Structure 1
Amino acid sequence: MRYAYTAAPLAFALHAAAYSTDSWTFGYGFWMGPPASGQITKATYSIAAPSVPQNATVKDSSDEVWTSIWIGVSATESGDTDSLYQPLFNWSPDQESQGCSATAEEWCVAASTYTSSGQVGQAYVPVTEDAQVDFEIYVQDNKVYQIVTMNGKVVSKQNDALTNPLQYLYASDECYTGSGTCGTLPSYSWNNITITLSEADQNFGGTLEMIGSMSSSGFSSSDGGKTWHADAVVFPTDDFTADS
């Protein structure tokens, strides 16, 4: 929800997964890019709704804790002058405080973009337990389109102006600590990740960087470097307190 990468990837490389002064904290994550030439034109990926965070605490209901997990694409490796197109999986002990009608045992999902003016997103949609959620982000006519599909039905979509050619794909889990603590986010995985480039780059798969004990079999290409695919990238259990 907030731009996680105003201090990364350098911060990732330095294992800087610590609490920020404004009550945001970032856990595990990965990134890829930039391509040798051209840009990212499309990214698709899926998730089976994981278990919700456990043992989060809230002292003041007017300052709720929330956790987001996401994959997004951007033109830059850091800073917030370029938009980060990032459909969000979001959870809070009080989902209504975040504009979602889900229970505390469910996630919420929405197409969303972090811009230089702040977060711009659609209304959250409850995610049923174990639902298959598919995401598509693609560039067309100088716009970036997001489509979120749950169990085969489109539930959220959005398009925004393309600020600059997309060079990086990022993923992270993050928590706003609010008046309490984040608790523990159970392990989960992003699945069936495919990235399409405008020009072939046989070395793009080698740009994958992951924090700490994350795991993946890596990205491979069957068409000379224009399309890259990974079966999964696995995020371990995260309590948002340990250096990764």
Structure 2
Amino acid sequence: MQHLLTLLAGASLATAGVLNAPSRIIKRDSWGGSVSLGPSKSTIVNAVTTLIPGTAPSTQNGELFLWPGMSNGTGDLIQTTLESWPDNSWCGATTGQWCVRASVFGGFGQLDGTASPVSGSDKVRIEYNLESDDTTWVQTVTNADTGAALSSYSIDAGPYMTGYGTGTECDDSCTGTIAAQQYLNTVITLASADTTFGDTIASASGATYTGLSSSQGGKVWTISTINVPAM
């Protein structure tokens, strides 16, 4: 997980793509639980998970982010984020809801898709897919139960993704999570088999996982559940 967090801390962050949306804060205060895999001897070509975020804090002091992220050798971070700000009305969220948006971070700043509100019990399906040109990553965020579109973003970031992990990020002395998060049926597909990829799995700050398995000779890796406790 450290390679993901280091790249995130070093990014020069700005906002684009969402009218009046708040920008990310560079300062990092603390991190919640996490589970990560990588680096792989191969590269990732698809990653999908379904996140149940739990209720967001009813009031917020700083900025709180939940995300599954992927890092690459160029310093880009592919990260769809669920966000809790002191005022979440910018995405239409009400008390206890999150704002979700597909985002990418790098030396160019922060680039975002449109944002939507989601409730704590919503199942947010987040998929990252490398297109057939082997350079374009498409993030697709939907409600897993209804299929409703929540956010999307596409960017040329190259076939360099080698690490995948969850993050609970608390910036600017934020109010931490008040409910557990759960990631369901996380599936990571590699360009070629890496039978040692599962050996790289790590967890921190009380997060746990179940059902790590592989198929297609180590090309497809699945984690049945990831459970992240409240902060």
Provide TM-score, normalisation by structure 1: 0.78
Query: How far has the Cα of 1:129 moved from its partner?
Result: 4.7
Identify the match of residue 228 of structure 1 among 216, 221, 231: 221
Query: Which range moved further: 127-136 or 111-120?
Result: 127-136
Segments of 5+ residues of structure 2 without an aligned counterpart are 9-24
- 8 Å Cα contact 1:54/1:183 also seen in 2: no
Aligned residues: 209
Question: What is the CA deviation profile of residues 14-33 of structure 1, one whole-angstrom value per residue up to 9, with x for unaligned ones?
Answer: xxxxxx99354322222211
Query: How far has the Cα of 1:5 moved from its partner?
Result: 1.3
- The answer to whether the aligner puts 1:109 opposite 2:109 as a matched pair is no
Secondary structure of the corresponding residue to residue 6 of structure 1 = helix
Alignment match, 2:167: 172
Residues 101 and 39 of structure 1: CA distance in aligned 2, closer, same or farther (over 3 Å) = same
Give the structure with the larger strand fraction: 2
Counterpart-to-counterpart distance in 2, 1:195 and 1:208: 12
Residues 133 and 183 of structure 1: CA distance in aligned 2, closer, same or farther (over 3 Å) = closer
Secondary structure of the corresponding residue to residue 192 of structure 2 = coil
Query: How far has the Cα of 1:119 moved from its partner?
Result: 1.3
- 8 Å Cα contact 1:214/1:236 also seen in 2: yes
Identity %: 27
- The answer to whether the aligner puts 1:154 opposite 2:149 as a matched pair is yes
Counterpart-to-counterpart distance in 2, 1:192 and 1:183: 25
Alignment match, 1:121: 112
Secondary structure of the corresponding residue to residue 195 of structure 2 = coil
Query: How far has the Cα of 1:70 moved from its partner?
Result: 0.3
Counterpart-to-counterpart distance in 1, 2:192 and 2:159: 16
Which amino acid is the alignment partner of residue 131 of structure 1? D
- The answer to whether the aligner puts 1:95 opposite 2:88 as a matched pair is yes
- 8 Å Cα contact 1:112/1:120 also seen in 2: yes
Q: Which aligned pairs between 1:21-36 and structure 2 lie closer than 5 A?
A: 22-36=27-41
Counterpart-to-counterpart distance in 2, 1:185 and 1:119: 27
Q: Which aligned pairs between 1:1-244 and structure 2 lie closer than 5 A?
A: 5-6=5-6, 22-36=27-41, 38-53=42-57, 56=60, 58=61, 65-76=62-73, 81-96=74-89, 99-140=90-131, 141=133, 142-150=135-143, 151-163=146-158, 165-177=160-172, 181-238=174-231
Counterpart-to-counterpart distance in 2, 1:166 and 1:122: 20
Query: How far has the Cα of 1:194 moved from its partner?
Result: 0.1
Secondary structure of the corresponding residue to residue 41 of structure 1 = strand
Segments of 5+ residues of structure 1 without an aligned counterpart are 9-19, 59-64, 239-244
- 8 Å Cα contact 1:110/1:122 also seen in 2: yes
Residues 163 and 82 of structure 1: CA distance in aligned 2, closer, same or farther (over 3 Å) = farther
Question: What is the CA deviation profile of residues 205-232 of structure 1, one whole-angstrom value per residue up to 9, with x for unaligned ones?
Answer: 1111111321112420132101011111
